[in-house]
Structure 1
Amino acid sequence: MSKRNMIFKKKLVAHALVFAFGTSALTIGVMPEAMAQSSNGAVNGQAPAGAVVTIENKSIGLLRSVKAGKDGTFTVSQLPPGTYLLKSGNEELTVAVNAGEGTAATFVGSAQQVVVTARLTRIDVKSPESSLVMNKAAIDRVPVLRDVTAVALLAPGAVAGDSRIGQTGSRAGNVPSLGGASPAENVYYINGFNVTNNLNGVAFNQVPFDAIGQQQVKTGGYGAEFGRSLGGVLSVTTKRGTNEWHGGANVVYSPESLEASSVYTEKSAITGKWELHNRPGGTDDLKSNVWLGGPIIKDKLFIFGLIQAANVKRESYFTTEQETLKNSTPQYLMKVDWNINESNLLEFTGFSDKSEDKIGTYKAATPYGGAKGAVVGNDTLTNGGQNLIGKYTAWVTDDLTVSAMYGVGKYDRKSEIQTASCPRITDARTSPSIKLGCSTVTSISDPNANDKRTAFRIDAEWNLGAHSLRFGMDDEKYEVVDGTKYPGGDSYTIRNLNPGSKLSNGYVNNTAAVQPYMAIRHFENGGIFTTKNSAFYIEDNWQATKNVIANIGLRSESFNNLNANGVDFINVKNTIAPRLGLVWDMKGNAETKVFANAGRYYIPVMSNTNVRLAGAELDYTDYFAFNGTYGADKFQLPGRGAQLGTRLEVSNGKAADPRTVVDPNIKPMYQDEFILGLQQAFGNRWSGSVKVTHRKLQSVMDDMCNDEGAGAWAAANGYNATDAAKIADTVGHCFLYNPGKDLTANVAFASGLKAITIPAAALMFPQPVRTFNALEFGFDRAWDGKWSLQGNYVLAFNKGNTEGYVKSDIGQDDAGISQDWDYPGLAEGSNGYLPNDRRHTLKVWGSYQVTPEFRLGANLVVQSGRPRNCLGYYAGNTDGVSILYGAASFYCTAIKPGLQPRGSYGRTDWTRDLSLQAHYAPSWYKGLTFAVDVLNVFNERTVKSLNEQGESALGTISPTYQQPLSIQKARTVRFTAQYEF
């Protein structure tokens, strides 16, 4: 080998190592051979026909060899992420394998010298998937919040969900919307194990942030092994031990003293507009991590462990109360890897993300500040839990690989409320509303509320030359203990009723004066419920021609939901979801790729449906005149006058026969997707892409309560008065079906249970519509040890008459049981641009190594606002029940007469968020680093969402209409000191 070629080889290997540990590539085309939910990766490439290719990762003692086929292609799958040395004859290549990503490698077969033809600006021409893959080093170079959602929001087509949708306490409202889907329609994995909270899809388990090895966000075109998602797939691969002992410790601190001022909103008496005013309070966040990993037995047995300690304190100041939240819950990760031999690998992962928020509530001496008054109550809210995952991988032959995984995951949702006996009392006649009495929470969950997932899956890949078959199955059992009630049993809300205005129960104020009234609502439900999901899939990755690959797949899923008595009330078997992907390597040199996808995707029936529809639920409201007095004790119960109208009953507290609450022909919610894209490699590590995406929701599953439509149809079609009333009552109990379709209902007539079919026209609902159309441009300059730059611009249109599994208009996260389809009047005017529609989004981030010791980073996000609405009491004539839902329709007569279709009130303002980072690695002490991140440098405080409910009664303007609900996070400064060895 010539000296020149030796130097060239050394440089290329060095660059490849930098690429392996530092790249953050926007990958449009993830290798399909990366199985088991993207916890591992793959290498595929080209070598002389019949050549033996060896692949070795010395850091974990893994060595594999394969034989190239007659056409010279070879594939090695199920590889743990890391750096690998490939050899074929006299040639060597060093490549990086990322979780869920395919890495290309090409040998030319020279017997004289080592010739490396691979480019560092490489395109995967084997798969049409769309994803963002970032390893921990790349994530650390981007100034973002330290959580999975913040990293996911870097992906094109990802926008932040409504702040009211998600978990509670310190984890509140932090879930993304991907590709126009609702925030409840993503699926989350850790080391291949599904950690999505299946109660309503808006929560998930997480490992400590410093335990993340890589994170992948799939935003479209994913293969048949993935399901249970209409939005995207968020997959985390944890760190693991290697043949060298490595460890470290860090301290990450965001001081409240350097956080920009907290704000509150107040309506100006002069302009009538909502204004932001400073107030004390903020968050002091201190976390520390200690980790260690290495070989117990070199090349055989490895271990990695991390423990995170926390000391978080958040002070909040409101009109009548102050709140202090403290969290010191430790979290951990343990990862064990055992190379049994060269053909068998066993892995174990255990982690806990249990989080306990200790919340103290105090009376306020003055609104929005001042000294603390008397203690109101001390509460504890729990989220998260323990997860145990085992996985076995066997390379049976050079052409057959099999893996099996089993896991148990727990998620606690319990609350310990000291003021559980205190009813919730709110005086909503003024803005802001005034909270009275001694309650500290709006609702109380079952003290034993928790979720448990038990799951296993088997995956296999069989290489047959031009065809590579992948197939597998999985099975999940999800057990839920859940229940909700109001503190003290009832919720009291005091409002004004204008002359001539109407309450939900039909009462009309016929006087000439404004009439104060109070609504007293009682709500309780609960039980123990089970959900079972299973699937199998098969996919052929076919090398159709030298430059064209077709991924032809089929997935079948089954969903089984049981009521509180353990009886099936939903049992859908063998849904069929075809997937087709095409990739064309235009020039045959992995520089230009054209790709296309067409696929169908289903999502499970969430366990929330079991709780709300198949459990025993008691829900009623009484209305009384308010006499202007309050009780003198801590409860401060409002003085009630005469009752206004009759009781409004929604649920009677009895669990219905499961056969009489679900359409036996029901189909789960599903969506079709079509993608066409182009990716081009350029010199010096640059690549660019353009992609068009079309997603269309084809079926919605939700509850419907239109007893009026069902009763009118029955009376017009020969049923006697008794049977017509029975049909109306069955449907009016609220019935799960596919909106816009014919309804089949099992009705308990005097003669027995009988199925009847009510045509869609009689129920008067429109066809469900949700589309997402996007044009995406992306660019990437991969990290080379000196600098990197990456970003994307998306022009998107998210339109329809339903957001999907949640309703961000009012912050409702009842997945599958939203109010959208209860009565047809609520659907009038609902078609338009949806809450997750952000027409323009620009994201750019990068880093620059100024000197060997100093590095700078930046992250910029510019985004247009969401549509605005005015929701009010139903004033149409399609049905007589929609008015009972309060400010829930697109009539808002107190503001403007007539129907006001979705999006009629413009949009919220554009948001701009610039974050910066400075990183220092002193040469005088190896392994020591310091970093400062400033998030939202210019402290932009743009309103991101507002209260869209414009009426407190029919014809009465709500004083809190357009009150800001969420605002850009205040500027924060984060310090990190870290030592690694």
Structure 2
Amino acid sequence: MNRALRRSALTAALGLCFATNVHAQSNTAGAVFGQASAGDTVVVENPATGFKREIRVGNDGSYRASALPTGSYRVTLQRADGSTATRENVTVNVGTGTSVNFAAAAAPGATTLDAVQVTAAAMVNPIDVSSVESTTILTAEQIAKIPVPRDVTSVALLAPGTVKGDAAFGNLASFGGASVAENAYFVNGFNITNSFKGLNFATIPFEAIGEQQIKTGGYGAEFGRALGGVVNLITKRGTNEFHAGGNIFYTASSLRATERDIYSPDGQLISDNSRDRDPTETIVSAWASGALVKDTLFGYALVQYGRESGERSFGNNLSVANDSTTSKNPNWLVKLDWNINDANLLEFTAFSDKEESERDVYANPQGVSEREDFLGTVHDETGGDNYVLKYTGYLTDTFTLSALYGMGEYKRNNYAVNADGQRLAYDGRVSPDNATGIIGAAGCPVVTDGRPDAVAGLIPAYTSSCAFLTGSSDTARNLGLADARDKREQFRIDAEWQLGAHLLRFGYDTDTFKSRDGEASEGGVAWRYVTRRGEDMVRRRVFQTGADVEVDSEAFYIEDNWSITDNFIAYVGLRWDSFENKNGAGETYVKQDDQFGPRLGFSWDVNGDSSLKIFGNAGRYALPIAANVAVRGSSPSLYSQEYLYYDGVDPVTGAPVNPTATGDARDELSYLNNEFGTAKDPRTIASKNLDPQYQDEYILGFQKQLTDNFSGGVRGIYRELKRGIDDHCDYRVFEDWADENGYAIDSYNPAFTYCHIYNPGSDLDVQIDIDADGTLENVFIPADRLGPKARRTYTAVELFAEGQLTDRFFLQGSYTWSKNKGNAEGGVKSDIGQDDTGVTQDFDYPELMVGADGYLPNDRRHTLKLFGNYEFSDQWSVGANFLYQSGRPINCFGVYGDDPTGYGASYFSCDAGPVDPDTGSNGTTIVRRGSAGRTPDIWNLDLNVAYRPSFAEGRLALKMDVFNVFNRQKALAVDEFGEDSTGNPLFGITYLTPTVYQAPRAVRFMVQYDW
């Protein structure tokens, strides 16, 4: 009985208990807090680095050690009478608070606790009763035990409420129904989100990641510029103990299963993959860490080299090339930590994520897999160097200050060299005279054949035997700039102040993001053969853009975590965001000040021992306009087209011979969206009443301790896009305004921009030189004449669980039921793979939004995720990662009526009836968004086995991962065009043809040695 009493006293004194002090979230550090007797001293020390803080317990019996670098700590209570109590191995994770409560130590009968030391379970993330956020944290140790691809997105997809985005945008995740372009990414507090389109981010060598924090909702006022989720990376760092090591990850092409061939619904071969050589990937890393000066200066350094190579054949009816691709990424990272003294820390992070790829392209006959003549090599260079300096000062026991400055560069260079050794590169200049383009070498024109019989394989398709940048794509791939790049400069300062029951945090950050970008079609012109009004014609398009643009963002925030009682905290956060967008001439075309984002939340430790937490929050989140909008929307751009007759086809280039005008006014040269290739007046680009886009979010849930080391919970989530931003391009409303106000409209002038940035559902208030007299007119168009309001909602219920079922069995998982509905996905348009972030074709014309309400592309009704690891012994372990997910909605795009906008097959209108030769239309049957079925449900199982031989004393590790063990290859996306651009039906031809399958089975090997 005496032993039982002592164990009870220990639990009361040193167990995970919630104190009156609370923890606010930080993007780089964690905290230890709790209760003890007033006047006592608590020492928080990291034995591995010598870092130490001494905190005097306040008059209310609470203490708090904030802004602690992540790691394992010793927490010691030093009483006024000289006795002590210690807790060892207290884990501090990023953005979380760990409670260590000594209050009961002074209780009668508890004095025997003085010499007791308690060790925490290493693989358990305890319930953080001090947080109102929805957060998943995975450490490097946990990630290493799971069969998961070694990239940030794949790890983020383990969290509840995340789904994989469309393949057209690369490897990105959608959080809570938001588009893949609405997330934010950080490394050691530095924003690495690429704000050009929001579709990529700087990366660090995966081996250097110490922790990955995934915020899926409810994040505090410290975080902004995201409507989806936040991914926060903390790098590894050095300690007093020297460590070094290296590993090799090898994925063999020979052990990859063959990707299945793609057939159209009527059995036509679309892609023959029988001769593909899937990529062989090798990644080698080496690292070292230790103390440069014991207890004071520490370093961690890693170098990584990766190489991937493979071949793809495009022997089918739609393409004429195959390629061989090799990519290389010599990356590195350095992390330095200087404990100047116990009150001042300085840390420096530098890393490089450069990658170079070469794609050799060869001609390929129609319908077979056979490599022919070499056409040329496409070169892509991405990534760059990043440098971050951060200071943390513990100025008093209750006041902490941190400051960060960082800068980074990300290249997006693209050029090509043809078979003759000629360099093909666009220099970014825009030619206003509708010339073929300013390109280093003439190259070949982009040629595609969109005639229904050619698409169906009933007649030979017109193609080019020399153009190669387009690869297998039916839509022209444009040649980018040889010196495209992005540069970021960021500064932020954050402070934390404990005032009794109130923990105040406040700060300011500014972010300057500059981009250089441009694109043009290879050869300067794109030809597309079409059947138009029953006749064969060829469409000639010229497209050129190029500019240096800028986005400046700044924000202020303040938040209060208020301990209303010992067990209940309330959170109040306020954030003000301001955004300024500049065009290629450095002129401001959009400025949005003081977007207010309130955040409210609560956390109730029901039992007072961190065993049951009820929490909730409500918040408003804003997003700036992406930098890419200014390149075409507010800077010089050229976009022209005309339809022509032709006498024949050049057998080498595929270009039409003797193209001549048809004589029909509907086919004459036109400048789409009034893009003449000349400068745009920044005053005419955006509506004067433009407000930032924002989203409201509400979360309510609970989390309960099920066993000593395992917990589970439920949360309900509702998100609603309250205001969106897009562009509107309907010139007809301006013609009507001119008629109503007595102006003689002259739309063929650069000051009459067709497309304007506005809030869909709001009035359009713009300035336009409507009559080309050199004076801007104030033009006001009521909202009811422009189209609907942007709508997007996300409703979900998440069940989640995590922890150690036994000492050797780690398990984590979730089930999510969700609905994602509306008329706009967000920044991008997954339906058609459009990556023009912020200016998709949605809302360009009202007709494009007819039938647009429905289930959005990221709607996955059911998702089940389970992953974990079981250790059979000290030498052998197995890991598993299982995913089940229901299919995504399918649309049917076609031509609406007589195509009033000229957008072709871009409407939610699909009819298999005959085409009227006079109107070119086959009806106006509306097929509402997401109502044409769903892709198949998918499931996937990954497994691994690891061996750590005893003779190597744990230093050597061998591992094999098998991805997609059962080689499931269901369609992830399908062709959603039920008609071609002239209204001809594609049912039974290409409509519903799979475009992306699950990745085939692959095997990865690892050898690692540490010393």
* TM-score normalised by structure 2 residue count: 0.88
Q: How does 1:902-941 map to 2 (within 5 A)?
A: 902-926=929-953, 927-941=955-969
In structure 2, the partner of 1:500 is none
2: CA distance between counterparts of 1:854 and 1:136?
19
Task: Name the residue aligned to 2:361.
Answer: 361
Opposite residue 294 of structure 1, the aligned amino acid is G
Equivalent residue, structure 2, for 1:600: 620
Corresponding letter in the other structure for 2:393:
A
**Structure 1 residue 586 corresponds to structure 2 residue 577:** no
SS across alignment from 2:372 = strand
Higher mean C-alpha deviation, range 131-140 or range 308-317: 308-317
**Which residue among 92, 95, 99 is the counterpart of 1:100?**
95
Hey, what's the Cα distance between the residues in 2 that align with 1:41 and 1:288? Answer: 32
- Residue identity matched to 1:352: S
| Aligned twin of 1:684 | 708
Please state if 1:734 is matched with 2:759: no
Q: 1:198 is matched with which residue: 195, 208, 211?
A: 195
Q: CA 1:15 to 1:221, structure 2 compared with 1: closer, same or farther past 3 Å?
A: closer
- Asked if structure 2 preserves the Cα contact closer than 8 Å seen for 1:704 and 1:731, the reply is no
Compare 772-781 and 310-319 and name the one that shifted more.
Answer: 310-319
Classify the secondary structure of the residue corresponding to 1:106.
coil
* 1:481 matched residue in structure 2: 516
Q: 1:753 to 1:492 in 2, by over 3 A?
A: closer
Q: Does 1:653 align with 2:649?
A: no
Within the alignment, does 1:540 sit opposite 2:560 as a pair?
Answer: yes
Letter in 1 for 2:951: W
CA distance in 2, matches of 1:779, 1:231: 22
Offset of 1:144 from its aligned partner? 1.0
Contact kept in structure 2, 1:845 and 1:857, CA below 8 Å: yes
Equivalence for 1:71:
60
Can you list the C-alpha shifts for 1:536-593, whole angstroms capped at 9, x where unaligned? 1000111112221111010001101111111111111111100001111112221111
- Alpha-carbon deviations, 1:913-957, whole Å to 9, x = none? 100010000001120000000000011111101121222233302
With over 3 angstroms needed to count, the CA separation of the structure-2 counterparts of 1:106 and 1:525, relative to structure 1, is same
Higher mean displacement: 807-816 or 679-688: 679-688
Match of 2:430 in 1: none
Does the aligned pair in 2 maintain the 1:705–1:731 contact within 8 Å? no
Q: What is the match of residue 891 of structure 2?
A: 869
Going from structure 1 to structure 2, the CA distance change for 1:116 and 1:690 (only over 3 Å counts) comes to farther
Q: CA deviation at 1:897?
A: 5.4
Paired residue secondary structure (1:821): coil
Pair 1:967 & 2:971 matched:
no
Choose the corresponding residue for 2:867, options 845, 848, 851: 845
Picking from 137, 142, 150, the partner of 1:133 is: 137
- Counterpart-to-counterpart distance in 2, 1:183 and 1:249: 34
User: How many Å separate the matches in 2 of 1:152 and 1:972?
Assistant: 21
Residue 531 (structure 1) aligned with residue 551 (structure 2):
yes
Whether 1:747 aligns to 2:768 is: yes
Instruction: Confirm or deny that 1:81 pairs with 2:98.
Output: no
Report percent identity of matched pairs. 39
> What is the rounded CA distance, in whole Å, between the counterparts of 2:774 and 2:643 in structure 1?
39
1:946 has 2:951 as partner: no
Partner of 1:809: 831
The amino acid of 2:221's aligned partner reads: A
User: Would the alpha carbon gap of residues 531 and 127 (structure 1) be closer, same or farther in structure 2, given more than 3 Å must change?
Assistant: same
Contact persistence 1:625–1:643 (CA under 8 A)? yes
Deviations 1:752-791 (A, max 9, x none): 434343211122x112110000011011123765111110
- The aligned counterpart of 1:416 is 415
What secondary structure is seen at the aligned counterpart in 2 of 1:373? coil
Matched residues in 2 for 1:382 and 1:10: separation?
A: 59
Partner in structure 2 of residue 699 of structure 1: 723
1:13–1:93 CA contact under 8 A, matched in 2: no
1:706–1:732 contact (8 Å) kept in structure 2: no
Letter in 2 for 1:625: Y
Is it true that 1:328 corresponds to 2:323 in the alignment? no
Residue 488 of structure 1: SS of its match in structure 2? helix
Distance 1:922 1:450 in 2: 47
* Preserved contact between residue 304 and residue 331 of structure 2 (Cα < 8 Å): yes
- Amino acid of the structure 2 residue aligned with 1:377: G
Alignment of 1:638 onto 2:629: no
The answer to whether the 8 Å contact 1:34/1:78 transfers is no
State the Cα distance separating 1:373 from its structure 2 match.
2.7
**Cα–Cα, structure 1 residues 741 and 727, in superposed 2: closer, same or farther, change >3 Å?**
farther
One-letter amino acid of the counterpart of residue 826, structure 2? G
Counterpart for residue 437 of structure 2: none
Deviation at 1:744, TM superposition (A): 0.9
Kindly indicate whether residue 910 of structure 2 is the aligned counterpart of residue 892 of structure 1.
yes
Conservation of the 8 A alpha-carbon contact between 1:743 and 1:759:
yes
Cα offset, 1:911, TM superposition:
0.8
CA distance in structure 2 between the partners assigned to 1:600 and 1:756 by the alignment: 32
CA distance 1:155–1:967, shift in 2 (3 Å): same
Alignment of 1:824-839 (within 5 A): 824-839=846-861
Question: Which residue is equivalent to 2:502?
Answer: 467
Matched-pair contact (CA < 8 Å) for 1:492–1:520: yes
2:336 counterpart letter in structure 1: V
Out of 285, 289, 292, the residue aligned to residue 296 of structure 1 is 292
| TM-score normalised by the chain length of structure 1 | 0.91
Does 1:404 pair with 2:403? yes
Is the CA contact 2:273–2:313 (under 8 Å) kept in the aligned structure 1? Answer: no
Is there any run of 5+ residues in structure 1 with no aligned partner, and where? Answer: 17-29, 166-172, 498-502, 510-514
CA distance in 2, matches of 1:599, 1:13: 36
SS of alignment partner, residue 466 of structure 2: coil
Amino acid across the alignment from 1:761: D
Are 1:761 and 2:784 matched, yes or no? yes
Residue of structure 2 equivalent to 1:956: 984
Q: Show the counterpart of 2:804.
A: 782
The aligned length equals: 932
Q: What is the CA–CA distance in structure 1 between the aligned matches of 2:499 and 2:243, rounded to whole Å?
A: 40
Which residue of structure 1 aligns with residue 464 of structure 2? Answer: 436
Q: Which residue does 1:91 correspond to in 2?
A: 85
Q: 1:40 to 1:323 in 2, by over 3 A?
A: same
Give the conservation status (yes or no) of the 8 Å contact 1:32–1:223.
no
Q: Is residue 609 from structure 1 mapped to residue 644 from structure 2 by the alignment?
A: no
**CA shift for structure 1 position 3:** 10
Is the 8 Å Cα contact of residues 143 and 935 (structure 1) preserved in structure 2? Answer: yes
- Give per-residue Cα distances to partners, 1:619-672, cap 9 Å, x unaligned: 012222354x43243x23233554342123212112221001111221111100
- 2: CA distance, partners of 1:535 / 1:788: 40
Match of 1:26 in 2: none
In 1, Cα distance between equivalents of 2:368 and 2:43: 67
RMSD of aligned Cα (Å): 2.7
Separation (CA, whole Å) in 2 of partners of 1:68 and 1:431: 78
Deviations 1:663-719 (A, max 9, x none): 122111110000001111122311011000000001111110122123324534xx1
TM superposition shift of 1:13: 15
Residue-by-residue CA offset, 1:806-836 (whole Å, 9 max, x unaligned): 0011101111111101110001000000000
CA distance in 1 between counterparts of 2:10 and 2:306 reads: 44
Q: Distance in 1 between matches of 2:552 and 2:545?
A: 22
- Over 3 Å counting, the alpha-carbon distance change for 1:452 and 1:268 in structure 2 is same
1:702–1:739 Cα contact (<8 Å) kept: yes
Q: CA deviation at 1:11?
A: 13
Q: Cα offset for 1:105? A: 1.4
Equivalent runs, 1:539-578 vs 2, <5 Å: 539-578=559-598
Counterpart AA for 1:638: P
For residues 872 and 366 of structure 1, the distance between their equivalents in structure 2, rounded to whole angstroms, comes to 27
Query: SS state of the match for residue 733, structure 2?
Result: helix
Q: Which digits, 9 at most, give the CA deviation of each residue in 1:240-267, with x for residues without a partner?
A: 1110000101110000000001233122
Distance in 2 between residues matched to 1:919 and 1:395, nearest whole Å: 43
Distance 1:933 1:906 in 2: 35
Q: Which moved more, 1:439-448 or 1:813-822?
A: 439-448
The equivalent of 2:165 in structure 1 is 161
1:489 CA drift (Å) = 0.4
> SS at 1:924's partner residue?
helix
